[in-house]
Amino acid sequence: MDIEGDIMKKVITVIMLFFLSLSIVACHEEKTYDDLYLEYLTHIENNELNYQSSIDYFNHLSQEVIKSVVLVEKIVQTSSESSTGSGVLFKSDANYYYILTNNHVIYSEIVSDSTIYTISDFQGNEYDAELIEQSGDYDLAILRIERGPLDLPIIEFAPSNPLVYEKMAVLGYPGYQINAISLGNVVDYAFIEVESTSFDVINVLFDVLISDVPVKSGSSGSVSVNDQFQLVGIVYAGNFKDTSTTSEYTFSIPVEKVLEFFQLKQFSLEDNS
Amino acid sequence: MKRLYIILFFMLFMLSGCLTIIDNEDSDEYRALSNQYETYVTNDITQVDQFESFVNETTFTSMMSNVMIKIQIFSDLHNLVETRYGSGVIFAVGAYNYVLTTFELTDIPSNLLVTYQVADYQGRTTSAYIDKFSEDYGLAVLKFRRILSNHLPAIEFADQNSLLGEPVLLFGYIEEIMNSMSMGLVEETNSESNILDEYVYTTIESDIYANGSAVIDINNQLIGIQAGVSEGLSYAISITNIMEFLELYTDYQELD
């Protein structure tokens, strides 16, 4: 019995050792170029829907919403004073397009015939503009241009201010850059102190929309939109650290205050023509 | 029995550690693909933050290399015969800014007079001149004098072609929108004319004005020069061909 038992033990040991060496060999795997290529492709394939959703959102901004955004230029001929900013087309009627921008973009101490406002659309076509309304308390202004042969789309207003963490995009002409788009999120609402030469220019005393969308200096009047492509604010300031030309945070007049400005100025969004 | 338990324990131990014993292929191709994959995953735009960073980087950095091109062709009697519009991208900066575009845009019979005008990302226009071209590669280089106070950066080149399904972005003059951007995915094609490495096919919506535009990957590096649209797909001259074409310069980096 002992001899048979010993033989059995040896057989089992040999079998075990055989399986052990097999398992070690099986454990040792080489990852080839083809394996890695397949892993790479699978990673891309698994994210395809996600990519497509981001692409659709971005392409709508860059191909449709951007057409509502304009460059605003002010030149005072008598003093050679000039300024530029952005604006957005928000209303049209039979004769005119109406543009929303910042008061500080178009502000002149003395408004006279020598102050010329020019609007450039997404194709670079230029239009003479007329100042309709302005307010330093909201840092907002309305200009209008005569309708030309080109049909320009107008932006929709969001019914209320966006919530904190909501997605946001800023579209404008920072420092003359044509059709700039930057993305980020709503961060907070708070009162921001902005340096101004006069209360007539900027005297915003309410909580403004703070976002982490970076903008370049010269982005005043750019439009802030939500993920439904509706206007949620008009950029009026940003915080620029040291010598950086790109802001860390962007401050916008929130849409509810924009609508309040229209009411105060008794400016109707309806087509009265 | 004790010995059996030890062997069993050892077997289980080895099996549990199985995933850790993977040898990577020892080849340059593997290492290049591995680096490309690693960079891709690091910058992957599946995360909202990464997508936002990519777009912001494109807007504030890469787009500054964009130029819009206007070519006017005159008869020998100085009558305007044709005006062409297209796009290009600055790829080297020295005494001049050097712009890559398509050969097709600059292919003009030699008996006609031509003026080239470029507009930068801010719409500032200046005269440009043809510097190099190759019908075989479908590419041409224009140059225009650099103004020190107006620094325009050169686009970076990608080391590798993008893989099927990767997101890409085109910036140029699309649908008459200046400085426009459009995104899509690298697409495969069944077309027999598709020669490997010659063109990158994408789902980017584009038109004739965008020919010569830069197509970049999610690392903001150039992977192609838009050449046209065929059967609903955009196609761009691949980075492999661009780099070969640039060998026409003994060392294009010396242009910097």
Considering only CA atoms, which of B14, B13, B204, B82 is closest in space to residue B214? B204
The answer to whether the CB atoms of A29 and B22 lie below 8 A apart is: yes
Best B175, B179, B217 residue to mutate vs chain A (most A CBs within 10 Å):
B179
Give the pLDDT of residue B189: 63
Give the pLDDT of residue A270: 84
pTM assigned to the model: 0.87
Give the pLDDT of residue B99: 96
The answer to whether the CB atoms of A177 and B174 lie below 8 A apart is: no
Q: Which two tokens stand for residue B158?
A: 């990608």
Give the pLDDT of residue A81: 79
- DSSP H helical segments within chain A, as ranges? 2-27, 33-46, 48-63, 103-106, 255-264
> Residue B244 belongs to what H/E stretch?
helix B239-246
Chain B residues in contact with A58 (beta carbon < 8 A):
55, 181, 183
Chain A residues in contact with B34 (beta carbon < 8 A):
36
Dihedral angle computed from the Cα positions of residues A205, A270, A154 and A226, in that order, rounded to the nearest 10 degrees: 50
Chain B residues in contact with A67 (beta carbon < 8 A):
177
pLDDT in tens, B153-174: 999 999 888 999 999 999 998 8
Give the pLDDT of residue B194: 42
**Chain A residue with the nearest C-alpha to that of B169:** A55
**Chain A residue with the nearest C-alpha to that of B8:** A16
Chain A residues in contact with B52 (beta carbon < 8 A):
183-184
Residue range B28-63+155-242 forms a domain whose CATH class is: mainly beta
Q: Which two tokens stand for residue B227?
A: 């050449």
**Chain B residue with the nearest C-alpha to that of A54:** B51
Nearest to A176 among B3, B122, B165 (CB): B122
Chain B residues in contact with A51 (beta carbon < 8 A):
45-46, 165, 167, 185
Give the pLDDT of residue A239: 87
The answer to whether the CB atoms of B178 and A167 lie below 8 A apart is: no
Instruction: Give the distance from residue A205's alpha carbon to the nearest chain B alpha carbon, in angstroms.
Output: 30
Give the pLDDT of residue A20: 66
Nearest to B3 among A13, A43, A183 (CB): A13
Give the pLDDT of residue A8: 80
Give the pLDDT of residue A16: 73
Instruction: Give the distance from residue B3's alpha carbon to the nearest chain A alpha carbon, in angstroms.
Output: 8
Nearest to A31 among B22, B29, B182 (CB): B22
Architecture in CATH of B67-145: Beta Barrel (2.40)
ipTM above 0.90, yes or no: no
Give the pLDDT of residue B191: 52
- Burial (Cβ within 10 Å: 0-12, 13-18, ≥19) of residue A117: buried
Domain with CATH 2.40.10.10 in chain B: 28-63+155-242, 67-145
Please, what are the domains in chain A?
Answer: 65-146 (2.40.10.10), 156-264 (2.40.10.10)
Spans of chain B below 70 pLDDT: 1-4, 7-20, 189-197, 249-256
Best B49, B161, B181, B217 residue to mutate vs chain A (most A CBs within 10 Å):
B181
Give the pLDDT of residue B139: 96
The answer to whether the CB atoms of B55 and A181 lie below 8 A apart is: yes
| Contact (CB, 8 A) for B36 and B160 | yes
From CA A94, how far away is CA A30, in angstroms rounded?
72
**Chain A residue with the nearest C-alpha to that of B40:** A40
Best B49, B183, B203 residue to mutate vs chain A (most A CBs within 10 Å):
B183
From CA B38, how far away is CA B53, in angstroms rounded?
18
Instruction: Give the distance from residue B166's alpha carbon to the nearest chain A alpha carbon, in angstroms.
Output: 6
Polymer length of chain A: 273
Spans of chain A below 70 pLDDT: 1-2, 19-20, 22-28, 111, 196-199, 272-273
Give the pLDDT of residue B53: 95
Best A57, A125, A177 residue to mutate vs chain B (most B CBs within 10 Å):
A177
